[in-house]
Amino acid sequence: MARRGPFLVAATLAVGVLLTAPAAAAAEDETDHPVLVTAEELIHDEKTLTTTARGKVELVHGARILLADKVIYDQRADRVVATGDVALLEPGGDILTADYVELSNQLKTGFIKNLHAFLADGSRVAARRVTRDAGQSKVMDQGVFTPCKPCEEDAEAPPLWQIKALRVIHDEQARDMIYREAWLEFWGQPVVYLPFFFHPDPTVERRSGWLTPRFGQSEQVGAILSAPYYWSISPDRDLEVEPIFYSKSGGILRTRYRQHLGHGEIDLAGSIGRLDDVKNGAETGGSSWQGNIDLQGRFALDPTWRAGFDVEHVSKRTYLRLYRLSNVSTLTSRAFAEGFRGQNYAQISAYRLQGLQADDIGEDHPVIAPWGEYDFVGLPDKLGGHAFANASTVALHRDRGVDSKRLSFDLGYHLPHTTAGGHVLAATAKLSSDIYHVNNFTNPSGNLIDDDVITRVFPQLGVEWRYPLVRRGANYTQLIEPRAMLVTAPDSGNSDDIPNEDSLNFAFDDTALFRLNRFNGRDRLSGGTHVDYGVNLAVHGDGGGETRFSIGQALRLSGDQTFTGESRLSGRVSDYVGHLIVAPTDAVDVHYRFRLDRDDLSAHRSELAFRYRKDRFRLGLDHVKVSAGSQGTGLRNREQIGLSLGADVSRYWQANFGIIHDFSDGENDTRDLRMSLRYEDECFAFAVRLEHSDTRDEDIEPDTALFFSINLKYLGDFAVNRGG
C-alpha cells in the first residue's frame, strides 16, 4: 500500500539521518515528497499513537530504500525504531546494515546496534554501537574502519589492513574520522598502537596534511628520507613542501605551488639546500647553497592567442642528477605568445638554455631574444595549388663568443597534379632571403667578422614524381611506389661569414631525403642540383597489420661542398638510406632505420626498435650503432643496446626491468640498470626500486640506489611514484 504521513517519512529517513552528513540529510528531509511503503502488515494504534509496519518492510523515498523486518513510529515520544535485518541503500551507493535502529528528538539523535556500512568508494565501517548527537557527529564504540575489499576466497578473513579503536568519532562538520585507543592491524595482527589518530573521511578528495614519506639509500649521498606536507589552500590552489634529508650531504627543501586562474594556470616549483661540497667522489670539507627553480604558466588570452612562460635554472650543473631530483639534460627557460587562425600561425618568444651535460659550457649557450615567426598557407587556387609564406626573426646573445641577428622571408608556391595514368606530380618553387648581422665571429678562414651585415637570396625549385601501383590480394593490399625528385638551386647558398647556429648536428637519413633543403635549420642551405630517388613498398592487411619498407639514394649533379665527407653527401652518389616497419598485429611493432655504405653496403648507422605488448607482458629492445663521424661531429664509434621488460605478474603485482649496455669501441659496460617491483590494490600500495648508474661527471660517481614506499589509502597520498 502507499500513503503519505509523518510516520512514513520518519521511517524512511531514520537510518539516513543517522548516518549521512547533515547537509545531505537536510536536502532529503522534505515531508511533501511521495513515499512508497510495502509491508505484510501495517497497524496504527490510536490510543498509543504508534504505527507499526511488520513483515518484509520496504520504504522508498526518492533514491533511498529502507528494508527491515519491523518499523515502529511512536508519535508521542517522537521516536522511530527499526529492527531485524535493517538495511539502507543510499543514493550515493552506500549500503548500511544493522540489527537495531532508534531515533528521537525529531530524528536528530539516536543510536544503532551492530552497524555494518559498505561505502560507495569501497570502504567499510563497523561498530557495536553508534550514537549520533544533534547532527554534528557520530560516535562509534568498538569501531573498525578499512578501505580494503573483503577477501574473495574467504569473506570472513581479516582485510589487508584496518584500524580498530575503542571509540571512533565521525566529525560530520570537519569530515574527519577520529580514533581513540586504536591499533593499526595488518592481516588481523596489531602492528602500531595509536592512542589518538585521525584522517579525512572517504568523502574528502584532498586535505592538508602529511603525505607518505619516501625512503631510499644511495652509495653516494647516503640514506634518503623525505617527508612531504600538502596544504590545500583553496579549491583553486595548493602547496606541497617536501624536506629531503641526505645522510652524507645535508638537506634540501623542495616546494611546489599550483593555482588555477580561470583563464590559465601556474605551476611554481623549486628547491634549495645547504649541501656538502663533493669533488671526485669525496667531500671537500666545505658546504654551499644549491638549488633550482622550475616555474610554468599557461594563459588563454582569447580564442586566437595564448601565452605562457617557463623558467628553469639550476645553481650547479650536476645538482639535479646527484641528488636524484631529475635526469634532464637541458633546462629551457622561455616566454612566449602564439596565435592560431585558420591555416596560419604566429609566435613571438624568448629562450634561454642551460646545458647539464659534461661538455656544456654555460657561456656558449646563447640567449635567444626575440624569436618571432609567422607562417601563412593560402587556400587552393583554380589550378589546385597554393601559395605559402614565412617571415621570421631571431637574435642570439652570448656572454662570450658569437652574437648574431637574422631577419628572413620565404615566398613560395606548391602545385600538385595527378595524371589520368596515375602519375602523381608536385612542383614547389621557393625564394628565401636572409639578412644577418654578425658580431665577434671568426670564420673558417680565420677572419674576424665583427659588426658586419651579410645578405643572402636563395631560390629553389623542386619537382617530385611518384607512381603508386596498388594490387588487391585476398585479404591485403599491396603497394609498390617508385619515387624521384629533382631539386635545383644555385651552386653556392652558404657564406663562410654566416655562423652556423641551427644546423650543426646534421644526420643524413631517410627523413632528409626528398626535401628542398636537407638541413633542419636555416643557417645552412643545400645548394646545387641533385636527384633523389627510391622506392616505397607496403603491404596492408585487412585486419590492421602492415609492413612498410622504403629505400633511397641521392645523386648530386652539381653544387658546392656544403656537406662534409663524413655525411657521405659530398660525393656524386650518396649512401643508401631507408626505413623498415613491421607491425603484423597490435601487439608487435618493429622499426629499423639504416644508412648503408654506397660501395659495400656496410652499415654506417642502424637503429632498431622492437616492441611487444600482449595482455600482461611488455618487451622492448633498442639497438643503435653509429660509425665514427657519421653525424659530422667527429665522435667515436658508438653502439648501445637497451632492453626493457614489464609484466603484470598477477592482479596486484607488477615487475619491471630495464638495462642500457654500451659496446662502443669495444667497451662492454652497463650504463644504466633499473628494476622495480610494485604491489597495488584498492587500499594499499608498495613499491621497491633498484637503480644503478655508471655515469661519471664532475662530482657524480657510479652509484647504486634503492628506494621504497608504502601507501595506505586515506593515510597520506596514494601515489607511489613521486620522482627521484
Is pLDDT at 429 greater than 90 in this prediction?
yes
Per the model's pLDDT, the better-predicted residue between 214 and 105 turns out to be: 214
Mean pLDDT of 190-201: 90
**Quick one: pLDDT band at residue 135, thresholds 50, 70, 90?**
low
pLDDT digits (tens, 9 = 90+) for 18-66: 444 333 333 444 445 566 778 888 888 888 888 888 888 888 877 778 8
Cα separation of 364 and 441, whole Å? 13
Torsion of CA 224, 225, 230, 231, to 10 degrees: -100
669 vs 2, higher pLDDT: 669
* Pairwise pLDDT comparison (28 vs 702), residue with the higher score: 702
Residue 199's pLDDT band, with cuts at 50, 70 and 90, is confident
275/572 Cα distance (integer angstroms)? 58
* Strand (E) or helix (H) holding 246: strand 237-246
Residue-level pLDDT at 240: 94
**In this predicted structure, what is the pLDDT of residue 106?**
57
**How many other C-beta atoms lie within 10 A of the C-beta of residue 153?**
6
Task: Quote the strand ranges of 41-108, DSSP E.
Answer: 41-45, 50-61, 64-74, 79-89, 95-104
Length of the chain: 724
Q: How sure is the predictor about 560, in pLDDT bands with cuts at 50, 70 and 90?
A: low
**Residue 88 β-bridge partners:** 66, 96
| Predicted local confidence at residue 5, as pLDDT | 39
Overall average pLDDT of the 693-719 stretch: 83
pLDDT of residue 488: 95
Give the DSSP letter of residue 13.
Answer: H
Q: Residue 102: which pLDDT band, with cuts at 50, 70 and 90?
A: confident
Of these ranges, 199-208, 475-484, 679-688, the one predicted with the greatest mean pLDDT is: 475-484
- How far, in Å, CA of 20 to CA of 12, rounded? 13
SS3 for 718? coil
129 HSE (CA, 13 A, CB side):
6
Q: How confident is the model at residue 568 (pLDDT cuts 50, 70, 90)?
A: confident
Instruction: Quote the pLDDT of residue 630.
Output: 56
Q: How far is CA 273 from CA 215, 255, 270, 596, in A?
A: 18, 12, 11, 51
Q: Per-residue pLDDT tens for 375-407?
A: 999 999 999 999 999 999 999 998 888 999 999
- CA pair distance 391, 404, nearest whole angstrom: 17
Nearest Cα neighbor of 142 from 158, 160, 127, 123 is: 127
Inter-residue contact 525 to 519 (CB < 8 Å): yes
Confidence of residue 362 (pLDDT cuts 50, 70, 90): low
Q: Which amino acid is at 293?
A: I
DSSP assignment string, 277-315: EEETTEEEEEEEEEEEEEEEEEEE-SSSEEEEEEEEEES
Q: Distance between CA 705 and CA 724 in Å, rounded?
A: 10
Q: What is the pLDDT of residue 30?
A: 42
Write down the pLDDT at residue 152.
77
Q: Mean pLDDT score of the chain, rounded to an integer?
A: 86
Q: Are 356 and 317 in contact (CB under 8 A)?
A: yes
Which residue, among 566, 249, 521, 248, has the nearest Cα to 396 in the 3D structure? 521
Question: Percent of the chain having pLDDT more than 70?
Answer: 90
Q: What is the mean pLDDT of residues 95-105?
A: 83
pLDDT of residue 719: 42
Each residue's pLDDT tens digit, 253-276? 999 999 999 899 999 999 999 988
Peptide bond into 370 cis (omega under 30): yes
Task: Give the C-alpha separation, 500 to 493, whole Å.
Answer: 13
List of residues 6+ apart from 157 with CB closer than 8 A: 150, 151, 188
pLDDT at residue 6 tops 70: no
How far is the C-alpha of 593 from the C-alpha of 605, rounded, in Å? 8
CB atoms within 10 A of CB 132: 22
For 498, other C-beta atoms within 10 Å of its C-beta total 22
State how far the Cα of 319 lies from the Cα of 41, in Å rounded to an integer: 78
**Hey, is 16 helix, strand or coil?**
helix
The pLDDT value recorded for residue 361 is 63
Report how far residue 373's alpha carbon sits from residue 370's, in angstroms, rounded to the nearest whole number. 10
Torsion of CA 126, 132, 135, 137, to 10 degrees: -60
Q: Over 90: is that where the pLDDT of 464 sits?
A: yes
At residue 15, the pLDDT reads: 43
pTM: 0.80
Q: Which three cell numbers stand for residue 370?
A: 626575440
Could you tell me the pLDDT band of residue 427, with boundaries at 50, 70 and 90?
very high
| Contact in structure between 566 and 627 (CB atoms under 8 Å) | no
Mean per-residue pLDDT, 485-514:
88
**How many CB atoms neighbour CB 573 within 10 A?**
13
Position 12 confidence tier, pLDDT thresholds 50, 70, 90: very low
As a whole-number percent, the residues of the chain with pLDDT over 90 amount to 52
- Rounded distance, CA 195 to CA 183, Å? 8
Q: What's the mean pLDDT in 196-211?
A: 84
Least confidently predicted of 61-70, 285-294, 322-331: 61-70
Neighbours of 543 (CB within 10 A): 11
- Assign 635 a pLDDT band (cuts: 50, 70, 90): low
Are residues 461 and 428 in contact, defined by beta-carbon separation less than 8 angstroms? yes
